[in-house]
Structure 1
Amino acid sequence: MDKLRFGISAKLFCAIFFTCMLVLITMHWGVRLSFEHGFIDYIKRGNEQRLSLMSEALAEQYQQHGNWNFLRNNNRSMFSILRSLEQNPDTNSYLPPHGWRTQFWVVDQRYRVLFGPHARVPQEGIRHSITTANGHVVGWVVGSPPERLTRSADINFDQQQRRTSWLIVGLSTLLAAAVTWLMSRGLLAPVRRLVAGTHQLAAGHFTSRVAVSSNDELGRLAQDFNRLASSLEKNESMRRAFMADISHELRTPLAILRGELEAMQDGVRKLTPEAVSSLLMEVATLTKLVDDLHQLSLSDEGALAYRKSDTDLAALLELVAGNFHARYASHNLTLKLTLPEHAPFFGDPDRLIQLFTNLLENSLRYTDRNGSVSLALYASATGWRLLIDDSAPGVDDAQREQIFERFYRTEGSRNRASGGSGLGLAICRNIVEAHGGVMSADHSDLGGLQIRVDLPYDKL
């Protein structure tokens, strides 16, 4: 049998509830002890005052009569004295409410009881001497010890206070349990939503989102969870699109190769140098695609080897542009260069040549014949800025945001011969970022696309 396991809701409830109970019990016993001691002290002070007044009144009566005969076997005389004390406003202004709260005895100088209950005179009781004017002690007024309550009204009052105190504790316990339960549910509601969302996320449901109900730490955690789910959903969508694009890119050259080889095998097509050249072109296309994929994976992981040194961007651009002059001329494209004499930069010359080559290759593939391409490099406030503008066709805003994605082409009808593998700009962006730069796209004044590359001066 599995052991009973408490969730975080039960643990939080128990923690808050037991803390409230501990505070309640502590307060209850503190109040009870304070009340009992205070009440007994209150009775003790009142009895001492009454016994003191009683001793003074008895001393006066003794002086008037000269002995205790007026009090022996004469309870009426004692009751008369008690009533006079209760009715005298000068004597009871500081006394407790009317009525004696303790037993008392009046004894003479030989400890013979003159007035009091038939019980034995307590030795530890409160004693007030009855002293005459000339200083002779003629007796004592003895009260019972104040440690316990003897008057029925006081006992009933004490019991009522106990019952009321325990009733308050019971009601407070129920209130604490209700408030704690509501508080634990309210505090843990965002946590439960996050737990449920995490389970869905772990099961592969990347569309899962949680409601953000506050701006505290749990609210920020919910926002981070939603951002994480959105990133995972986007990455999953990109992964599926990436796999679909790879299969599509590989299917066409493989189908051509298979068709050519089957035709040669069946004797439909002869093994001629032209046929072999066609096969080699398809193999070269596959090799280029695999190389681009390898380069992209390395750049994504930051594993591309960069050997940075002092170089000249202007010289590198002139070198790359010189390699493209013949190809641009064959497409009736005009390539215009605007370069400074020197553009010192600390970077990897080989990777920068790869960057410039891919950019010019992209303009060559996507610019209509009889168009023009402009390449300009100039110094900005923070570094070198490279602008590559080409003529029509252009791209719309939606396409402009997607051209740096893998396998993306602005026209779905373009084949690989004109559109390449669709990985060039993705690799270019990684190279630029590895040099601390930023790459972006915009509309060109020439009617096509403008690629902007910003490289900082001193990015080691």
Structure 2
Amino acid sequence: MKRALKLGIGPKLFMAIFSTCMLVIIIMHWGVRLSFEHGFVDYIRKGNEQRLTLLSDALADQYEQHGNWDFLRNNDRLIFSILRSLEQNPGSGNLLPPHGWRTQFWIIDQQYKVLSGPRSPVPPEGTRRNITTSNGKVVGWVIGSPAERLTRSTDINFDQQQRRTSWIIVGFTALMAALATWLMARGLLAPVKRLVDGTHHLAAGDFATRVEVGSSDELGQLARDFNQLASSLEKNESNRRAFMADISHELRTPLAILRGELEAMQDGVRKLTPEAISSLQSEVVVLTKLVDDLHQLSLSDAGALAYRKQAVDLVHLLEVAAGSFGERYRSRQLTLQLTLPAEAPSFGDPDRLMQLFTNLLENSLRYTDAGGQVRLTMKNLGDSWQLCFADSAPGVDPAHQARLFERFFRTESSRNRASGGSGLGLAICKNIAEAHGGSISADLSDLGGLQITLNLPYVPH
């Protein structure tokens, strides 16, 4: 079974434009031919009517001179003489069209007998002119054949020449239309072909592919959108590889420690003591925390975290979160200072917001030297609440502040996982803040450490 021939968009576009051009050319050719033929026949008709009128007047004068039609019977030479005199001297200012008589004519008397004319029958639809004497008596008629019946070879040849010329023009115009259509289709499809080739490269995994933007129209906008998509895919692929490398690196160390500890116990190098079990347990806690954070981050990235938003008071949530950290802050000799308004109405998920505040307080607890202080302030900016979590030394290099919300990023490689966490806390905070229509950023603190600025919408109750 033969497969049907599939035409690409190029041939389809060519056929569409070329068919439209041919339709316009044929309609114009038909209209011009119709106009020419009607105009040509009308030109001949008017000329013959004028000649028939002059001939009837000349015959009326001859009839009055002779008193009957005997002078005309079998006297074709007289007819030719009259015709020649009319052509050479139309008289009375009557201007005849050039080239003489166009159609056949007949002269008949009162009894409808043909006095002069061709042997063919008199056409009933012919043009008729009365031969009227000076006293108003009709003594005969001059009848001309319809103008549509061209009899002279020059007229027929002229009409045929016009037909041939018209079709030659149509053929030449069709060739020019085909050439122009091919160039137009090729030019229009060039950016589409570039996009198709770029899409194939992109589908094959070549995310560095870019297409040339050659115009500012819709195709140009499509090319710019394609380049932006390719750039996003390239960035996402780079982040994915870095993410997988970071995950493997984060998992490798606690797993290596666990494996080393277990092999030492198995070989008898280390005894199974409560201290050894505690060491293994701490590594398991690190792995559990890392897996939980990865799960939370993947859910927030995919938008799968359940947000049950309602009217909330941010002050109440902050006080509850700060109260849960009171003992831990005192154990590290850290001072936690709160400067909050009486209430801060907003709209959000209280559980996720509590997770956000807990992660930020945990971050300050981990990275603030003992004996320092942490200050939490809030103020109303009109359409949002601004929360500042500022802590004392150590600070963060300004070059690293923008990367604090990246996954697995740590400002100091010396911080171990037990104190530094998984490196995902701030990334989760960013996703939660953005899910609530807010924003989060990092800057230097006037206390000598880091300041995390959080903006959340102000929604009055």
The two structures share one fold, judged by TM-score above 0.5 = yes
Conserved? CA contact 2:87–2:96, under 8 Å? no
SS at the partner of 1:32?
A: helix
Q: 1:119 to 1:352 in 2, by over 3 A?
A: closer
Task: Specify the alignment match of 1:290 in structure 2.
Answer: 291
Contact 2:14 2:181 in 1 (8 A): yes
In structure 2, the residue corresponding to 1:238 is in which secondary structure?
helix
**1:205-244 equivalent positions in 2, closer than 5 A:** 205-244=206-245
| 1:142 aligned partner | 143
Alpha-carbon distance, 1:329 to partner: 5.1
Are 2:359 and 1:358 aligned? yes
Residue pair 2:315, 2:343 contacting (<8 A) in 1 also = yes
Partner SS for 1:145: coil
Cα distance, 1:171 vs. partner? 0.8
1:154 aligns with 2:155: yes
For residues 460 and 212 of structure 2, the distance between their equivalents in structure 1, rounded to whole angstroms, comes to 42
Does the C-alpha gap of structure 1 residues 112 and 457 become closer, same or farther in structure 2, counting only changes over 3 Å? closer
The worse-fitting range, judged by mean Cα deviation, of 273-282 and 390-399 is: 390-399
- Shift in Å at residue 309 of structure 1? 5.3
Point out where structure 1 has 5 or more consecutive residues left out of the alignment.
Answer: none
Matches within 5 A, 1:134-213: 134-213=135-214
Aligned equivalents of 1:287 and 1:455: distance in 2? 31
CA distance in 2, matches of 1:67, 1:349: 127
**Shift of the alpha carbon at 1:199?**
1.4
8 Å contact kept, 1:85–1:91: no
Pick which of 32-41 and 242-251 moved more.
32-41
Q: Distance in 2 between matches of 1:233 and 1:323?
A: 43
8 Å CA contact 1:389, 1:451 repeated in 2:
yes
The percentage of counterpart residues that share the same residue type is: 73
Aligned to 2:56: 55
Q: How does 1:258-337 map to 2 (within 5 A)?
A: 258-308=259-309, 311-328=312-329, 331=332, 333-337=334-338
Tell whether the 8 Å contact from 1:86 to 1:92 is kept in structure 2 after alignment: no
Measure the CA separation in 1 of the matches of 2:149 and 2:294. 96
Runs of 5+ unmatched residues, structure 2: none
Secondary structure at the residue paired with 1:26?
helix
Coordinate RMSD, CA, aligned:
2.6
| 1:405 aligned residue | 406
- How far, CA to CA, are the matches of 1:287 and 1:186 in structure 2? 60
1:301 deviates by 3.4
CA contact 2:336–2:373 (8 Å) conserved in 1: yes
Per-residue deviation, 1:307: 4.9
Contact 2:315 / 2:344 at 8 angstroms: preserved in 1? yes
Residues 159-188 of structure 1 show CA distances to partners (whole Å, capped at 9, x for unaligned) of 110111001100110011111111111222
- Opposite residue 267 of structure 1, the aligned amino acid is G
Question: CA 1:58 to 1:395, structure 2 compared with 1: closer, same or farther past 3 Å?
Answer: farther
Q: What's the CA shift for 1:327?
A: 4.2
Write the letter of the residue equivalent to 1:278: S
Task: Tell me, in whole angstroms, the C-alpha distance in 2 between the residues paired with 1:121 and 1:46.
Answer: 20
What does 1:5-154 align with in structure 2 at a 5 Å threshold?
Answer: 5-88=6-89, 90-91=91-92, 93-117=94-118, 119=120, 121-154=122-155
CA contact 2:345–2:459 (8 Å) conserved in 1:
no
Deviations, residues 276-333 of structure 1 (Å, cap 9, x unaligned):
1111111111111111112222333344344555554334334433444554455555
Call closer, same or farther: CA 1:4–1:373 in 2, change over 3 Å. same
Letter in 2 for 1:159: Q
Query: Aligned partners of 2:369 and 2:50: how far apart in 1?
Result: 119
* CA displacement at 1:223 relative to structure 2: 2.1
- In structure 2, the CA distance between the partners of 1:67 and 1:234, relative to structure 1 (3 Å rule), is same
- Equivalent pairs counted in the alignment come to 460
More displaced 10-residue stretch of structure 1: 170-179 or 432-441: 432-441
Equivalent residue for 2:449? 448
After TM superposition, the structure 1 stretch with the greater mean CA deviation from structure 2, 37-46 or 90-99, is: 90-99
User: How far off is 1:429 after superposition?
Assistant: 1.8
Q: Distance in 2 between matches of 1:174 and 1:359?
A: 75
Q: TM-score, normalised by structure 2?
A: 0.91
Q: Do 1:86 and 1:98's aligned partners in 2 also have CA atoms closer than 8 Å?
A: no
TM-score, reference length from structure 1? 0.91
After superposition, the Cα gap between the structure-2 partners of 1:459 and 1:69, relative to the gap in structure 1 and judged at 3 Å, is same
The one-letter amino acid of 2:196's match is V
1:119 Cα deviation from its structure 2 partner = 4.8
Residue by residue, what CA displacement relative to the aligned partner does 1:328-376 show, whole Å, maximum 9, x if unpaired? Answer: 4555554433223444445444333322221122223334555443221
